[in-house]
Structure 1
């Protein structure tokens, strides 16, 4: 099938690779402009651009799809379908109507739950037992289009946003190849009106741990914000990033380190205890609890977040 592919991060690159492996003709790839990255803040191509260039595909990086020039770029390809995955630009109605069979979106949730920007993290924060991939026929609404296929995926008890992202990226890649193979035989299904939730964009401020919250909520949040934006608290006034955690029974003054050893740094929460198993001090590297506490013999009794 002749496709235009529009996407930017690793999640989208997995789908692009799967479409190439499946033998689809992709004469045009759209992705976000290169962004500064790394200590030198040099311009870095998106994962989708890097993969597309590796395969000799034409890449364009318009700032918007609302201009006649951008729309002419898409129209001249004569694609049957545009596949969109975490692209980052809105598709106006004029663009949605250009491909003969429309624009399909690979969305990382079981719609209509978690429409919007951060469905992976919001599903984890809410304690959802499952999530998945929805292949959707795009319209001008925010993830409101009719569903072409739905692919559930259970969420593991120790899931982080990083591990769930990777599993969903693989599921999305398989789902779009399968859906395109059956596209002409699929009848789109409107999303239910009940159960709509919105996955608001993540902010750094919300990732600061509130130790008055229940331990289950805190541990879940630490996993949900791994790797971005990264949950954090404060130790002696300095930021302390928290990457992995478990909730367990216990009690104490919220934010107080109850014990610190090879198996974790145990911190009292509003209800229960959070066992931190991977931490990162300001200016340091991510460390397992064993290595983190090795140079901090007086950690027990310390108050975090102060």
Structure 2
């Protein structure tokens, strides 16, 4: 098959490898290079670097809504457009160009967590399982029929970054399965997403990272896990703003005001919450690197308790 691949971040790289391994990827679409890092120099997306390494032509239009961009895609005569975390909206005219339409690898069990941040929202909500779907794209936001799906449990201490990496590989496997069926001229039987159970995974925002100690410790522990490695939870602890890189909830009854430091030891800093306490195990001071609570207390001996 003549496949065009559209993706941008690291999540899409394993799927590009899967598509390239057994099929002819004739071109890769990815977003334009963006400023990144302290120097704010233009940085190519991970998918672009992977495509260049494999000798695949790369296109980086700002939008696919313009006629010239659509004509360029049409001239390639693609059989299939595979989309994985591309980040740009595909107009209906684009969806109609490939002979077999457009497939999307989505990191949730649709219809739950349609949208931009399904991995983090699943952890934040306390879901015990998630997965990936191979979906036939249509004009709506992640509303198309599902061709294949794979389920996986979410570990009790798994972070957004760890789950991201697992689902990236799982998604590549599901895509490979779908492409193998397509090459064998076997069409997966699509199932229409039900209306019941639809939830939306809204894009992450840095303002969400601040922890509200009035919330239950279980809720805050999930946020810490979900927002690692970005945008990273943060809070004021003993008068100092810290980034919280690892924490667990304690079922610890208390009568203290939320935000009170209950105990500080090498096991962690225990902070009173609206319900229970949050034990901070890995923290990051401003301008520093992530360290254990024990290392932090070596610099803040005024906080240590027996």
- So what's the TM-score if we normalise by structure 2? 0.95
Counterpart for residue 100 of structure 2: 101
Counterpart for residue 304 of structure 1: none
Partner Cα distance (1:101, 1:240) in 2: 50
Matches within 5 A, 1:180-259: 180-183=179-182, 184-235=186-237, 238-250=240-252, 251=254, 252-259=256-263
1:239 positional shift: 3.0
Aligned residue pairs total 300
1:256 positional shift: 1.3
Matches within 5 A, 1:59-98: 59-98=58-97
1:78 positional shift: 1.1
Report if aligned partners of 1:257, 1:300 keep a CA contact under 8 Å in 2.
no
Partner Cα distance (2:236, 2:43) in 1: 32
Q: Please say if 1:272 is aligned against 2:271.
A: no
1:237 positional shift: 5.5
Provide, for residues 163-216 of structure 1, a one-character-per-residue CA deviation record: whole Å limited to 9, x for no partner: 000110010010101011113321211101100000111111111000011111
Structure 2: which 5+ runs fail to align?
A: none
Report if aligned partners of 2:237, 2:259 keep a CA contact under 8 Å in 1.
no
Choose 122-131 or 251-260, whichever is displaced more.
Answer: 251-260
Partner Cα distance (1:281, 1:151) in 2: 39
Partner Cα distance (1:35, 1:234) in 2: 32
Q: Secondary structure at the match of 1:213?
A: coil
Q: Please say if 1:110 is aligned against 2:109.
A: yes
Partner Cα distance (1:292, 1:27) in 2: 52
Report if aligned partners of 1:258, 1:300 keep a CA contact under 8 Å in 2.
no
1:300 positional shift: 5.3
- So what's the TM-score if we normalise by structure 1? 0.95
The structure-2 alpha-carbon separation of the partners of 1:262 and 1:237, relative to structure 1 and needing over 3 Å to count, comes to closer
1:299 positional shift: 2.5
Partner Cα distance (1:279, 1:125) in 2: 19
